[in-house]
Amino acid sequence: MSQFKTLYDKAISDQKFRAELVNNPSAALQSIGIHPTPQVLSSLGTALTAIEALGTELSPAMNVVTDIS
């Protein structure tokens, strides 16, 4: 599997990794064996912006029911 397929798999399945990818992309990429050259970081820019915009946590905090009485 290519390193970028590994990157995709980790990003879609691992919330912690996704957060690290947004907050510290160099460290996140190195952790899966991708050397974070300026070219690599630049090519990932659009994707990281889109992920950051959606927030890294997918499930919203649970809300308490207040209207069922």
Partner 1 sequence: MNFEQVAELAATRAIFEVSAAPSILAERTLLWLGTRFDIQRPANYFTHLQSLPLLALPWWLEESIRDCADAEFQAELMYATINFYYFTRILDDVMDGHEIEPAVLPAMHPFHLRFTRPYYRRFGLQSSFWEHFERLLMVTIETASAEVVLRKITSEQFLNISARKTAAAVIPMAAVCVHYDRLDLLESWENMFTAFGRWHQMRDDVRDWSADWQADSPTWLLSEAEQRHSSGESVPAWMGREGFLWAKSVMRSWMDETLGAASNLGSSQLVLYMRARDEEFCREIDRTIAMAEACNELLKAESLLEQV
Between residues 1 and 33, which has the closer beta carbon with respect to partner 1?
Answer: 1
Which amino acid, 66? T
Measured distance CA(5)–CA(38) in Å, rounded: 20
Q: Three-state SS for 39?
A: helix
**Residues 19-58: x where in contact with partner 1 by CB under 8 A, - otherwise, as a string:** --------------------xx--xx-xx--xx-xxx--x
Among 8, 23, 27, 35, binds partner 1 (CB under 8 A): 8
Could you tell me the two tokens for 38? 């300026």
Measured distance CA(8)–CA(61) in Å, rounded: 25
Residues near partner 1 (CB under 8 A)? 1-2, 4-5, 7-9, 11-15, 39-40, 43-44, 46-47, 50-51, 53-55, 58-60, 62-69
